[in-house]
Amino acid sequence: MHSNGNGNGICDVTIIGAGPAGLFGAFYAGLRELKVKIVDALDEPGGQLAALYPEKFIYDVPGYPRIIARDLVKCLVDQTMMWKPIMSLGERVQNLNRNPDGTLTLVSNRGEHHSRSVLICGGVGAFTPKKLPSPEFVPYENKGLYYSVKEKSAFRGKNLLIVGGGDSAVDWALNLKDYARHVTLIHRRDQFRAVQSAVTELMHSDVEVKTPYELKAVGGNSQVQTATIFDNRTKEEMTIPVDAVILTLGFNVDLGPIKEWGLDMIGTRYIKVNRKMETNIPGVYAAGDIGAEEGIEPLNLIAVAFSQACMAVNYMYQYLNPGAKAFPGHSSEKKL
């Protein structure tokens, strides 16, 4: 996504997770002039806010009486990007290895990242889109069948079918209706899970909404050209011409490989940290929903994630620069 051109070199801090903790951690790392990289399994930044509730209002972020999750993510990305960190999205970190020189290497499904320290902001785990179980859909993936939207412009002038009833489905239908030639949205239930204001806007838009409909098959010569959908009450089928199908079926979340890295855990859900957000592995820190202190009930909240990320990065600075102060000074006294 973004690069400051130092993609191959060793970073001071590599952050796993581009949720609120990871993004704010990257901001603080930039403020302290550390070379930072963020890696996330999702195709977009924002963690749970982007994946699970992009259209919902949040009322307990300091400084915002209320803010829509998507807008908060945009503000966080803008704030973080002032330092131009490397951001590698759609990449899931699998392993953490210590090198003979003491540095660390993260191994992902796409390559390796070398770093002097690592901040794990993995939240509840890596998000990957849920896929349709039938293997018949696989050949059409990225050939007209998509589980996420990377470029709105790719759908310009297209006949589009969106499948799903949550915030993402409704949000994409509303976002793409002015780009696409025609948008049909099907959902297997009559009731939508999406926020009511967006559903009302959808119902008053020119998006063709069909419920309770499901996708049965897609057809076409190496590229999606048709979709067969059916009314799940009457079983009546219809085949419609489409150029693209976007499936928003939710996400699988998996802490997965992180549990195998030799980190002290609290149960299977939390990485054990101390007051400095240090884990038991030197140079490896954790912040946000994934970290917890022994004996203290974790508060899985954005405000807490921000604070922990700030603490983690400033103590990481001290780890990387022995003898230096952890306290970063006041940003208001810096010329940025």
Ligand X SMILES: Cc1cc2nc3c(=O)[nH]c(=O)nc-3n(C[C@H](O)[C@H](O)[C@H](O)COP(=O)(O)OP(=O)(O)OC[C@H]3O[C@@H](n4cnc5c(N)ncnc54)[C@H](O)[C@@H]3O)c2cc1C
Query: CA 62, CA 161: separation in Å to the nearest integer?
Result: 39
Tell whether residue 58 is a contact of ligand X (CB under 6 A). yes
CB 164 within 8 A of CB 247: yes
CB nearer to ligand X: pick between 58 and 240: 58
Tell whether residue 67 is a contact of ligand X (CB under 6 A). no
Q: How many residues bind ligand X (CB under 6 A)?
A: 36
User: From the list 15, 29, 31, 39, which residue makes contact with ligand X (rule: CB under 6 A)?
Assistant: 39
Tell whether residue 119 is a contact of ligand X (CB under 6 A). no
Indicate the residue whose CB is closest to ligand X.
123
User: From the list 13, 121, 263, 271, which residue makes contact with ligand X (rule: CB under 6 A)?
Assistant: 121
Tell whether residue 19 is a contact of ligand X (CB under 6 A). yes
Tell whether residue 180 is a contact of ligand X (CB under 6 A). no
In angstroms, give the least distance from the CB of 1 to ligand X: 13
CB nearer to ligand X: pick between 11 and 186: 11
Tell whether residue 165 is a contact of ligand X (CB under 6 A). no
Tell whether residue 54 is a contact of ligand X (CB under 6 A). no
Tell whether residue 126 is a contact of ligand X (CB under 6 A). yes
User: From the list 30, 47, 54, 144, which residue makes contact with ligand X (rule: CB under 6 A)?
Assistant: 47
According to CB under 6 A, which residues from 244 to 303 bind ligand X?
258, 288-290, 300-303
In angstroms, give the least distance from the CB of 56 to ligand X: 6
The three-state DSSP-derived secondary structure of the chain is CECCCCCCCCEEEEEECCCHHHHHHHHHHHHCCCCEEEEECCCCCCCHHHHCCCCCEECCECCECCEEHHHHHHHHHHHHHCCCCEEEECCCEEEEEECCCCCEEEEECCCEEEEEEEEECCCCCEEEECCCCCHHHHHHECCCEECCCCCHHHHCCCEEEEECCCHHHHHHHHHHCCCCCEEEEECCCCCCCCCHHHHHHHHCCCCEEECCEEEEEEECCCCCCEEEEEECCCCCEEEEECCEEEECCCEEEECHHHHHCCCCEECCCEEECCCCCECCCCCEEECHHHEECCCCCCCCCHHHHHHHHHHHHHHHHHHHCCCCCCCCCCHHHCCC
Tell whether residue 53 is a contact of ligand X (CB under 6 A). yes
Tell whether residue 317 is a contact of ligand X (CB under 6 A). no
- Among 176, 166, 185, 124, which residue's Cα sits nearest to residue 250? 166
Tell whether residue 313 is a contact of ligand X (CB under 6 A). no
In angstroms, give the least distance from the CB of 91 to ligand X: 6
Preceding amide of 212 cis, omega within 30: yes
CB nearer to ligand X: pick between 231 and 254: 254
Tell whether residue 75 is a contact of ligand X (CB under 6 A). no
The three-state DSSP-derived secondary structure of 17-30 is CCCHHHHHHHHHHH
User: From the list 52, 160, 198, 246, which residue makes contact with ligand X (rule: CB under 6 A)?
Assistant: 52
In angstroms, give the least distance from the CB of 252 to ligand X: 10
Tell whether residue 92 is a contact of ligand X (CB under 6 A). yes
Tell whether residue 30 is a contact of ligand X (CB under 6 A). no
Give contact residues for ligand X (rule: CB under 6 A): 16-22, 39-42, 47-49, 52-53, 58, 60, 92-93, 121-127, 258, 288-290, 300-303, 305
